[in-house]
Amino acid sequence: MKKPLRLSIILFDGFTALDIVGGYEVLANVPGIEVEFLAATPGLVNADTRRLALLGYRSFEQTLATDILYVPGGPGVFKGVNDQALISTIARLHESNTWTLGICNGVELLGAAGALQGKQVTTNWFARERVAAYGAQVMPKRYVRDGKLITGAGVSASIDAGLYLASLIAGEELAKTIQLGIEYYPDPPFGSGTPDTASAGAQAMVRMFEESAAERIEELKTPY
Amino acid sequence: MKKPLRLSIILFDGFTALDIVGGYEVLANVPGIEVEFLAATPGLVNADTRRLALLGYRSFEQTLATDILYVPGGPGVFKGVNDQALISTIARLHESNTWTLGICNGVELLGAAGALQGKQVTTNWFARERVAAYGAQVMPKRYVRDGKLITGAGVSASIDAGLYLASLIAGEELAKTIQLGIEYYPDPPFGSGTPDTASAGAQAMVRMFEESAAERIEELKTPY
């Protein structure tokens, strides 16, 4: 039997759940991949809504190295880029792994970890300037590969980027099988997923929401 | 201020995470919706992979009624249809609510709760016969509305069904804004999300995987 591949998903306070679960649902179904959730301290970590919590059951220190590093985004990134434990863990696991997957504004965390200099990447549309400031060339694409670094656009792009990474790891036929397993023939009721297609009002509202997100989630209380 | 709407997401052992998080990520962003996760006993509930756990922080009994009931699917449904606490909770919350959202083979749980007789619904492609046996007319669609009942196809359809329900609750403009917020302009690397487009090999593998899923997850151990 082939050695299993370790997929380490990084949790931090204020992550966005779909940034994680889109790619997780694809990659956890690749035979031989073993998923683990890492947190600064093992225990529950709260999503940006303060209504959903995921369990991180290994500490950052417990995982000395990994095969696949998965860095999600969310409003918590605003604080996260200055969190030394988080950033040094990302830098350390990125150094010796085979693949790194960054989603949404989680790509900024990779920048703070020194992983973006001279790299071609994508990110959430409102994080493009901040990611470019880390020396990356930001492409307005759904997912981008540069060597071992795979990056995805905002939130729901974790599914597409996950399928792409699954095909690189296990082949196109297996990735297509997983796509059927999660019945992914997306068909949104509206076409409004990009700044180019959304109304000016929707763009302004999302920008305002995102810019205030870090402060807003500080005020939200969990019901648990 | 308008009264908040309660969105109650039902957790059970062996749920599929993306069945929940796709719709949650959309609906939790509708202003005025308050999300809660219900479990038979408050605490962690394991997903089908046994590698991801979500926190259910209210017991089935603690929520006497809700505005929006959200029933996900997963391999746990095979046991779930015979779980009296689960089925009676779904039946009770469906009786007096404004909307019910069923995703993937979670629609079978609604059938066991007596909510499908004479209804038009969709479900995961390999669950169509079992759902039809509850007296429903199964449509091969991404999402279907019949009165207050919204159903979605497999796993990733929770995003599309969630956006559709968000538009019914809060209007099309708000749903489009959320679509931009989660940057949902899906662009999978392959076209293989339906039985019609997937290879015979992929179909056979998914069927085999799904048919053995309930037993398989019994043998998986959590690392926590």
**Which among B49, B154, B183 is the nearest to A182, CB-wise?**
B154
The separation between CA B55 and the C-alpha centre of its own chain, rounded to angstroms, equals 16
In chain B, the domains with their CATH numbers are 5-219 (3.40.50.880)
Cβ contacts of B199 on chain A, cutoff 8 Å? 173, 176
**DSSP label at B47?**
B
Please give the Cα distance from B133 to A59 (Å, whole number). Answer: 47
Looking at the DSSP bridge assignments, the partners of residue B149 are B100, B146
Phi-psi region of B15 (alpha: psi -120 to 50; beta: other; left: phi over 0): beta
Nearest Cα to A90, choosing from A108, A73, A109, A117?
Answer: A109
Give per-residue pLDDT as tens, B120-144: 999 999 899 999 999 999 999 999 9
Residues within 8 A of A (CB atoms), B 157-216 only = 157, 159-160, 163-164, 167, 172-173, 175-177, 179-195, 197-199, 201-203, 205-206, 209-210
Record: contact A52-B55, CB cut-off 8 A: yes
Record: contact B185-A193, CB cut-off 8 A: yes
Residue B104 annotated in active site: yes
Report CA-CA distances (Å) from A171 to A60, A164, B3, B110. Answer: 30, 9, 50, 37
**DSSP label at B36?**
E
Nearest CA in chain B to A173: B202
CB B55 within 8 A of CB B44: yes
Looking at the DSSP bridge assignments, the partners of residue B221 are none
**Which among B186, B197, B223 is the nearest to A57, CB-wise?**
B223
Nearest Cα to B16, choosing from B173, B224, B156?
Answer: B156
Please give the Cα distance from B39 to B59 (Å, whole number). Answer: 5
Cβ contacts of A210 on chain B, cutoff 8 Å? 181
Record: contact A55-B51, CB cut-off 8 A: no
What is the nearest CA distance from A175 to chain B, expressed in angstroms? 8
Type of residue found at A79:
K
Can you tell me which residue has the tokens 């919204």?
B150
Cβ contacts of A193 on chain B, cutoff 8 Å? 179-180, 182-186
- Residue % of chain A over a pLDDT of 90: 88
**DSSP label at B2?**
P
| Sheet (strand A68-71) strand order | A58-59, A33-39, A5-10, A68-71, A99-103, A149-152, A143-146
Give per-residue pLDDT as tens, A159-213: 999 999 999 999 999 999 999 999 999 999 998 888 888 899 999 999 888 888 8
What is the nearest CA distance from B182 to chain A, expressed in angstroms? 5
pLDDT of residue B147: 98
The token duo for B213 is 């899923």
Pairing mode of beta strands B43-46, B33-39: unpaired
Residue A117 clears pLDDT 60, i.e. is over it:
yes
pLDDT of residue B192: 81
Could you please report the per-residue DSSP string of B79-140? HHTT-HHHHHHHHHHHHH-SEEEEEGGGHHHHHHTT--TT-EE---GGGHHHHHTTT-EE--
Mean pLDDT along residues A77-103:
98
Q: What are phi and psi of A196, to 5 degrees?
A: -70, -30
Q: What is the ipTM of this complex?
A: 0.96
Q: Which of B165, B192, B210, B222 best probes binding to A when mutated, by most A CB atoms within 10 angstroms?
A: B192
Pairing mode of beta strands A43-46, A53-56: antiparallel
**Which among B28, B177, B210 is the nearest to A49, CB-wise?**
B28
Residue A38: strand, helix, or coil: strand
Please give the Cα distance from B124 to B107 (Å, whole number). Answer: 9
Record: contact A173-B25, CB cut-off 8 A: no
Cβ contacts of B20 on chain A, cutoff 8 Å? 21
Residue B159 clears pLDDT 70, i.e. is over it:
yes
Residues within 8 A of A (CB atoms), B 91-150 only = 104, 124-125, 142-143
CB B17 within 8 A of CB B193: no
Please give the Cα distance from B144 to B110 (Å, whole number). Answer: 14
Q: A62 — contact with chain B (CB < 8 Å)?
A: no
pLDDT of residue B47: 98
Q: A17 — contact with chain B (CB < 8 Å)?
A: yes
